[in-house]
Structure 1
Amino acid sequence: MQTSLKTAVTSYLQAGTLAKGTKAEYQTTLNKWQQWENGVSLEKLGREEIREFLDWVHSRAVAVDGSNPGRTANKARAHLRAIMAWAWDQDLLDSLPRFPKPMEQRDVAGRHYLTKAELNALYFATYQMKRPRGWYEPHPIGRYWRCALVLFFNYGLDTGTIWKSTLSHVPILYRQVCWDKQSPDRDIKQQSPWGWLFYKRVKTGKTFYRPMNRAVHSQVRSLLPQQVPPEDPVFLGGGSRPNARFEELCRLAGIKAKLDIESGTKQPWELKDLRKTCATYYDEHMPESSIEILGHSVGGITYRHCAYRAPLAFKAIMTMPQPSAFHSLVKGQEGQCPCCRRSFAEST
């Protein structure tokens, strides 16, 4: 039996705990779908049909003098992704179709996440970080920051989980890095070929056992000393003001300051923006996965106490598309420009 998009939207909205305004936006997208006058069922919906619908939404927004037609089309795209991901999770679909790339849009509310091009620039700018005064650690400071950027992107960690800059922070220690396939938490049945990380959130104290994907594994492995002290922190180089060093790194990478839409003033990027970046890309990659990845509180008694969300987090982390620079260590291109293979000079 074929499933119409209207039936899927109705079931999706009834199953979730979305806000009233969000439900109204989904209904608006459904109305546009019905006006499009293409009776394709959910099971037969493919990349070509989705592209045609989004092009129609964009053209319609231009025709009615829409101020930001790209954003209108991208909102419809996000709604379709969420609905089809839910239908696939409910076994209504055998597989998910490939979605066309988002259209260019004007960020009317200000952009509070870093693009992958900017993340690549930050990664390569770590080679320009100056050696701090009194630095006698086994690796240059840039290597620790490269690994930290990869972990911020993949897990959305708090700054205090990476660097201990205050007494209340609980950074990741070497004993919290497991290289076995089996998770230290025996309730998790999935196996990771790259190992696992254990850490606690600074704000809530909640514990997490997260699989390492290939990018994370290669970066953490590069920090290992010859003799691993279990109680030593993995990451160094944060100093007493990690955000000040991150602001300097953004300057080295040539990243412009973000715009505050309320005041219209420019503000420097902070490390907590990497957490927002993580949430943005996880929701684009696998809708609603950021709730579990970042450890956000969720509504609904059933969802909080009965839903077993570890498989969703595992699948999202292991399949997360990485910025190209994060794979340079895996591909044997560490320390080289990806286009001309020019070696970067790093302070030691």
Structure 2
Amino acid sequence: MPTTLESVVTKYLRTGSPAQRTREEYSTTLRKWSRWSGVVPLERLGRKEIREFLDWVHEDAASRAGTNPGRTTNKVRSHLRAALSWAWENDILDVLPRFPRHKPQRDVAGKHYLTKSEINALYFATHQMRSPRGWNEAWPVGRYWRAALVVFFNYGVDTGTVWKTLPFHEPIRWRHISWGRQSPDRELKESSPWGWLYYRRVKTGKAFWRPMNRTVRLHLKSLCPDEPDPDAPVFLGGGTRPNIRFRQLCKLAGISPKRDIESGDERLWVLKDLRKTCATYYDEHVPESSVEILGHSAGGITYRHYAHRAPLAFRAILGLPQPSSFKTLARGFEGQCPCCRRKFEEADS
């Protein structure tokens, strides 16, 4: 009996607890699928059929005087990819079809990510951050935030993975860092000259051993004490509300709030926007790599398939172009302006 998209989506939604709005969006996608004249069983669904369906969705949205048909099409694409990835992961489908690229779209809510010039401004503004009350650590709080920015940019981790703000968060600890070439995860065959970093996603609980590139290694080494406590957290200085400190950092860096294009309302930046920033630059660097790097459930990454998909993440992480400010540590200009060599004065506590 042929497998229908309706049956797969129904089973997929039952496996989790999506919000009502998410269920409604999937129902809308199914209605579009049933209206499309080229409906085929999922066993015969390939890249050609997916492209034709998405082209039809785009034309349909445009004919209905839609203001952003590209965004509508990309939303349908994400639903279709999530459901098919789940079906492939659970052996309902033998092969996961390739997907065409995203359609050009207008970001309705404005720019969701930080530009590299803004990241550079954030990085250098950390020298102006005041230490929290009672701060007695060996390094200024800005050094921890600089390393945190590097980790956010390269891995798109959750805020709770860097700073434990809730009891169920598992922050990165010194035992989660391996400086050796070989990964502690034996399923990974690659070797990294800069070492490996372990972290767990807050939302899904999935665990990852990711390779470090030179930039990440240097920044983590700059925080490492001579004899680190394996159970001690790597990152300090986030406080109980790191988003408040991040907004203060944005103010120091002179970064204006986001602005909604349609309403004109301003919205403050949050640390989650660094995750969106990570996704943006990875997809520019290696298309579709952000799904693997960020550990999205839609990617269908499980222990069974992880070893086969890890090379994509490995290649993307080791080759991701870094913002110029991140390179100051490698060039020996830590604490100095890279253009004029003016020394930054760390803010007093």
**TM-score, normalized by length of structure 1?**
0.70
The one-character-per-residue Cα deviations of 1:12-51 (angstroms, maximum 9, x if unpaired) are x934996877445899xxxxxxxxxxxxxxxxxxxxxxxx
Write the distance in 2 (CA, Å) between the matches of 1:141 and 1:111: 29
1:226 Cα deviation from its structure 2 partner: 1.9
Unaligned runs of 5+ in 1: 1-12, 28-66, 76-104
Q: In the alignment, residue 295 of structure 1 is paired with which amino acid?
A: G
Q: Are the aligned partners of 2:195 and 2:217 in contact in 1 as well (CA < 8 Å)?
A: yes
Find the counterpart in structure 1 of residue 279 from structure 2: 279
Find the counterpart in structure 2 of residue 120 from structure 1: 120
1:263 Cα deviation from its structure 2 partner: 3.4
Q: Are the structure 2 counterparts of residues 262 and 133 from structure 1 closer, same or farther at C-alpha, using a change threshold of 3 Å?
A: same
Pairing of 1:171-210 with structure 2 (within 5 A): 171-210=171-210
Q: In the alignment, residue 332 of structure 1 is paired with which amino acid?
A: G
Unaligned runs of 5+ in 2: 1-44, 60-66, 75-104
The one-character-per-residue Cα deviations of 1:34-75 (angstroms, maximum 9, x if unpaired) are xxxxxxxxxxxxxxxxxxxxxxxxxxxxxxxxx99xx9xxx9
Q: Are the structure 2 counterparts of residues 273 and 306 from structure 1 closer, same or farther at C-alpha, using a change threshold of 3 Å?
A: closer
Find the counterpart in structure 1 of residue 164 from structure 2: 164
Q: In the alignment, residue 14 of structure 1 is paired with which amino acid?
A: G
Q: In the alignment, residue 332 of structure 2 is paired with which amino acid?
A: G
Q: Are the structure 2 counterparts of residues 160 and 18 from structure 1 closer, same or farther at C-alpha, using a change threshold of 3 Å?
A: farther
Q: SS of the residue aligned with 1:199?
A: strand
1:347 Cα deviation from its structure 2 partner: 3.0
Write the distance in 1 (CA, Å) between the matches of 2:189 and 2:236: 32
Q: SS of the residue aligned with 1:330?
A: coil
Q: Are the aligned partners of 1:17 and 1:299 in contact in 2 as well (CA < 8 Å)?
A: no
Write the distance in 2 (CA, Å) between the matches of 1:134 and 1:161: 24
Find the counterpart in structure 1 of residue 13 from structure 2: none
Pairing of 1:294-313 with structure 2 (within 5 A): 294-298=294-298, 305=305, 308-313=308-313
Write the distance in 1 (CA, Å) between the matches of 2:233 and 2:49: 40
Identity %: 63
Q: Are the structure 2 counterparts of residues 342 and 203 from structure 1 closer, same or farther at C-alpha, using a change threshold of 3 Å?
A: same
Find the counterpart in structure 1 of residue 86 from structure 2: none
Deviating 4+ runs (over 4 angstroms): 16-27, 105-109, 299-302, 304-307
Q: SS of the residue aligned with 1:197?
A: strand
Pairing of 1:262-277 with structure 2 (within 5 A): 262-277=262-277
Write the distance in 1 (CA, Å) between the matches of 2:155 and 2:300: 24
Q: Are the structure 2 counterparts of residues 148 and 315 from structure 1 closer, same or farther at C-alpha, using a change threshold of 3 Å?
A: same
Say how many residue pairs are matched. Answer: 266
Q: Are the aligned partners of 2:215 and 2:326 in contact in 1 as well (CA < 8 Å)?
A: yes
What root-mean-square deviation, in Å, do the aligned CA atoms of Structure 1 and Structure 2 show? 3.2
Q: In the alignment, residue 254 of structure 2 is paired with which amino acid?
A: G
Write the distance in 2 (CA, Å) between the matches of 1:137 and 1:225: 11
Write the distance in 2 (CA, Å) between the matches of 1:299 and 1:198: 19
Write the distance in 2 (CA, Å) between the matches of 1:325 and 1:172: 23
Q: Are the aligned partners of 2:292 and 2:301 in contact in 1 as well (CA < 8 Å)?
A: no
Q: In the alignment, residue 196 of structure 1 is paired with which amino acid?
A: W
Find the counterpart in structure 2 of residue 340 from structure 1: 340
Write the distance in 2 (CA, Å) between the matches of 1:17 and 1:236: 50
Q: Are the aligned partners of 2:131 and 2:237 in contact in 1 as well (CA < 8 Å)?
A: no
Find the counterpart in structure 2 of residue 241 from structure 1: 241
Q: SS of the residue aligned with 1:313?
A: helix
Q: In the alignment, residue 149 of structure 1 is paired with which amino acid?
A: L
Find the counterpart in structure 2 of residue 14 from structure 1: 46
Write the distance in 2 (CA, Å) between the matches of 1:197 and 1:307: 16
